[in-house]
Structure 1
Amino acid sequence: MPCQLSLPIGPILILDDIRDGHAHLAALFIAPKGQNISPVEIEGRSVPTEALAEFETATAHRCRFSVPIDRASEYVWDGHSYPLSLDLLGNLRLAYVSCNGEEVGDLDREGSERNAMWARLREEHCRQPFAFLLHGGDQVYADEVTRDHDLSEHWPERVPSNPSADALADLRLHLRERFLERYAALYASPEFAWLAARVPSLMQWDDHDICDGWGSLPETQTESAVGQTLFSVARECFLIFQHAALDGDLPLRFADPSGIHLGWSVKGSDLSIIAPDLRSERTRHRIMGQGGWAMMDAEAAGPAQGHTFLMSSVPLLGPRLSLLEALMIAVPQMQKYEDDLRDQWQSRAHRTEWRRILRLVQDMALRDGHDLTAISGEIHLATRAVMELGQGLQLQQLVASGIAHRAPPTAWARTLGALSWLGEAPLPGHPIRIERLPGQSSRYVAERNYLLLERHSGAWSARWDLEQSGMTAPLALSQ
């Protein structure tokens, strides 16, 4: 069935860029087709909305405006005032989330259970507000969008070899409506919607924003006509609903205006956030293509001060997963999980590329007057890791996953914890260790969670909010 909307959804705030002393924002709305959206009122000005994209029964609208970054501000829409905490010059709070859903039956889950950690995050914002909300991937679980169409019903196990142009056009229409349905359902949930209207989001995609394992599936699937149609629609909807943008109209924070890859970065007062795209150019044999590496090389060569947060949708530092990968290939019953491990930087298929990114990050982190922290999601567990950089410095990685995805069995967390004892050193002389969160006895915590990043008097720290265990003590990030 097409998505049925009775009321406008939004505003959903997106951070377009930071420049010229202002935060440039986009407010996204989803409304039934033909329904007008009121303008946004900001500092006595009325800024009209514009139609961004049309669907069968709904229209996505956008309004772009800016606010200064040296003080708190507010905007008004439809008679309601929305405060913004975008003073970036002093103490600062960010929140990081990932894995907002599940592979099967996500839209059928009871709302208060599904969004329990979103409610906690909302309460935390009320206690002390966030400037930005960072989303590290799998903002939407699109795995079921392929159902109920002849071409994609059995994706990816069975792929039609030569579908007609008319059949592919019909598939495109079907997929667009299914993506709309999922984004609308997520953005209408009251716990998320309240936050998203008051805290601008910065989003990075991962495989479930397309389909499970995109890029690590065999190329006979991803390069097929059905696979390319799925990717094209997923990408279009990713831009519309996660960036309030279209091809040819990308915000300036994107490194490639053509959008061949969708990596981006923003820079504020003594703060940089870098989010390479680990999906658009991915194949079974690489994680990033020429465009992604050009972006990262430019970031490494450019000036930096203060603190950089590098968003890697799959963890940059981790245990020796190549042993599990070899076991899964050898045991037929486990081969269905092989794509999950091939998704990781630590996969045997990506070992050379993993060393390249680690050397690049090491060079960035060793610059004088500059700290760098990697943040990741994807694994549905909370953990952290460190890599020795030399000169008495460390690269820290923080993993927070997931905000809505229920935690895997504790036995899986123990298995990864046991594997971490073997150690890993892809760069000789720079060992990686999996460390415990403050106050936790295990290296991997099987609880839903999100991450807080806080700057006080110029020094950054991190805390995890764990569903059962509660808030951890602060972990110092500045060195």
Structure 2
Amino acid sequence: MCLSALFITSKDGEPSPIRLATGDVHAVSLAHFENATVWRARFSLPADRSSEYDWNGETYRVAGDLTGDFRLAYVSCNGEEVGDMAREGSERNAMWSRLREAHRRQPFALMLHGGDQVYADEVTEGHALSADWPDTLPRDPSRAALADLGHYLRERFFARYAALYDAPELAWLAARVPSLMQWDDHDICDGWGSLRRSRTYSPVGQTLFAAARESFLLFQQAATEDDFPARFADRSGAHMGWSIHMPGLRIIAPDLRSERTRRDIMGPGGWAMMEAEAVRDLPGQTILMSSVPLLGPRLSLLEAGMMAVPRMQKYEDDLRDQWQSRAHREEWRRMLLLVRDMALKDQHNVAAISGEIHLATRAVMDIGNGLHLHQLVASGIAHRAPPKAWARALGALSWLGENPLPDHPIRVACLPGQRARYVAERNYLVLERQDSTWRAWWELEVSGATPALQL
């Protein structure tokens, strides 16, 4: 396993080296901020057994055996749109604490983060150019004013990531479980890519995206613009989709934000990556990380109804974010066909895991030949659950069914042990391989762990 350890120090500080049996590994500085420096140390640990490393007088065990039985954790939506920085820590990180205790009982080999690792919606507040983003924009800001905005946003992104990573529950886990991350809209701003082009392609919008992108690379990938990790499909960075291949398992994480427009979820680079994965010969399990759910109810009906009510039109970007949006129907079919072909090629089921909706749910698409696409939604790890009435409304909508591909019906199903199709509780997902068989279960904040679902 090729790993990166991320450090944040005072501006003039420097982290102690990582100590391995093979020698010391010293960190290199990646970025400087007003009062801090971000560092990275790259090193390798075995992928066929558990191992450890030492840092600052403490030993960190890593359950790195990816060749036999192991467990993965999946989390998403680590925050809230308003007031997240002011929340009390033990309440905010209650599910992180539960995940930490689960790791102590039986270690996780990897932690998958499915989007909205940080809620950056408030970073635009307090600067003259972005204070009313995205409703009002300056007509012709000067280069000096945009440079000042870029500096302001960069420091605000830093403050949020630093505060999140300083939380003891997450910090403890992140030092012991390797993380693989993809981003979603709140890592940039609410609805990025589904907003009007006059917003996202404006000088202010592009300045915001640049600051968010640099922060994503630094704090979620321990990387810089000229130093992408090997797992990324596009070394130019036009999109930041990646894939990992290991014995009997492939994890694919397309980037659903970098190339997104109001008409397109992915651009040429993202589709080229997915098409290349579809023709690979990779027996075993495929896990597709889709930051927004790939399977779900007929949200296009809800979208049409909302557009007919002026007060509800402000939620248009939330529904346009979804694969099921009327604007993305053909693209949705294209992705489902690729996933179907992956499954039929190697005769294995595919699991799509997603966050985004702040609820726990699942769905199934019949692929044929006895194979299925399982959609598992776990959201969120820190975002508080929406009203139960919203979960019931989505459950009622799901009874209508959906059939974007002929002969491949989609069914929204209840979680194991639950009577409702959508569960309004904070949650995370566990995926486990035992004797080449995969199963998954949800850890729900109130209801506890669900029975396991065979994949």
Q: CA deviation at 1:369?
A: 4.5
* In 1: Cα distance, 2:337 partner to 2:326 partner: 18
Q: Please name the residue that 1:305 is paired with.
A: 283
* In 2: Cα distance, 1:368 partner to 1:192 partner: 37
The one-letter amino acid paired with 1:117 is M
* In 1: Cα distance, 2:391 partner to 2:345 partner: 35
Q: Please name the residue that 2:310 is paired with.
A: 332
Question: Counterpart of 2:373 in 1: which secondary structure?
Answer: strand
Question: Counterpart of 2:116 in 1: which secondary structure?
Answer: coil
* In 1: Cα distance, 2:375 partner to 2:225 partner: 32
Q: Please name the residue that 1:64 is paired with.
A: 42
Q: Are the aligned partners of 1:388 and 1:430 in contact in 2 as well (CA < 8 Å)?
A: yes
Q: Alignment partner for residue 108 of structure 1, among 86, 91, 111? A: 86
The answer as to 2:18 corresponding to 1:55 is no
Q: CA deviation at 1:428?
A: 1.2
The answer as to 2:221 corresponding to 1:248 is no
Question: Counterpart of 1:398 in 2: which secondary structure?
Answer: strand
Q: Alignment partner for residue 70 of structure 2, among 74, 81, 92? A: 92
* In 2: Cα distance, 1:393 partner to 1:81 partner: 44
Deviations along 1:381-431, one digit per CA (max 9) or x if unpaired, are 000000011112211110000000000000000000000000000001111
Q: Are the aligned partners of 1:122 and 1:191 in contact in 2 as well (CA < 8 Å)?
A: yes
Deviations along 1:254-298, one digit per CA (max 9) or x if unpaired, are 000010000000111111100000000000000000000000000
The one-letter amino acid paired with 1:119 is S
Q: Alignment partner for residue 98 of structure 2, among 116, 120, 128? A: 120
Q: Which runs of 4+ in 1 moved over 2 A?
A: 367-371
The answer as to 2:267 corresponding to 1:289 is yes
* In 1: Cα distance, 2:142 partner to 2:346 partner: 58
Q: Please name the residue that 1:271 is paired with.
A: 249
Q: CA deviation at 1:36?
A: 1.2
The one-letter amino acid paired with 1:218 is R
* In 2: Cα distance, 1:161 partner to 1:100 partner: 34
Further displaced range: 42-51 or 112-121: 42-51
Q: Alignment partner for residue 132 of structure 1, among 106, 110, 121? A: 110
* In 1: Cα distance, 2:49 partner to 2:336 partner: 37
The answer as to 2:425 corresponding to 1:447 is yes
Q: Are the aligned partners of 1:304 and 1:370 in contact in 2 as well (CA < 8 Å)?
A: no
Q: Alignment partner for residue 421 of structure 1, among 386, 389, 399? A: 399
Q: Alignment partner for residue 166 of structure 1, among 138, 144, 160? A: 144
The one-letter amino acid paired with 1:199 is V
Q: CA deviation at 1:248?
A: 1.6
Q: Are the aligned partners of 2:77 and 2:379 in contact in 1 as well (CA < 8 Å)?
A: yes
* In 2: Cα distance, 1:250 partner to 1:161 partner: 35
Deviations along 1:84-130, one digit per CA (max 9) or x if unpaired, are 00011111100000000000000000000000000000000001000
Q: CA deviation at 1:373?
A: 0.7
Q: Please name the residue that 1:80 is paired with.
A: 58
* In 2: Cα distance, 1:144 partner to 1:249 partner: 29
Deviations along 1:27-73, one digit per CA (max 9) or x if unpaired, are 00011100011110112410111001111111100000001111110
The answer as to 2:373 corresponding to 1:357 is no
The one-letter amino acid paired with 2:395 is G
* In 2: Cα distance, 1:283 partner to 1:71 partner: 43
Q: Which runs of 5+ in 1 are unaligned?
A: 1-22
Q: Alignment partner for residue 40 of structure 1, among 2, 14, 18? A: 18
The one-letter amino acid paired with 1:220 is S
Q: Are the aligned partners of 1:161 and 1:224 in contact in 2 as well (CA < 8 Å)?
A: no
Within 5 A, what are the aligned runs for 1:229-244? 229-244=207-222
Q: Please name the residue that 1:197 is paired with.
A: 175
The answer as to 2:122 corresponding to 1:144 is yes
Q: CA deviation at 1:367?
A: 2.2
Q: Which runs of 5+ in 2 are unaligned?
A: none
Q: CA deviation at 1:436?
A: 0.5
* In 1: Cα distance, 2:370 partner to 2:29 partner: 53
Q: Are the aligned partners of 2:282 and 2:346 in contact in 1 as well (CA < 8 Å)?
A: no
* In 2: Cα distance, 1:235 partner to 1:368 partner: 35
Deviations along 1:153-174, one digit per CA (max 9) or x if unpaired, are 0100001121000000000000
Deviations along 1:334-378, one digit per CA (max 9) or x if unpaired, are 011111000000000000000000000000011235331110000
Question: Counterpart of 1:361 in 2: which secondary structure?
Answer: helix
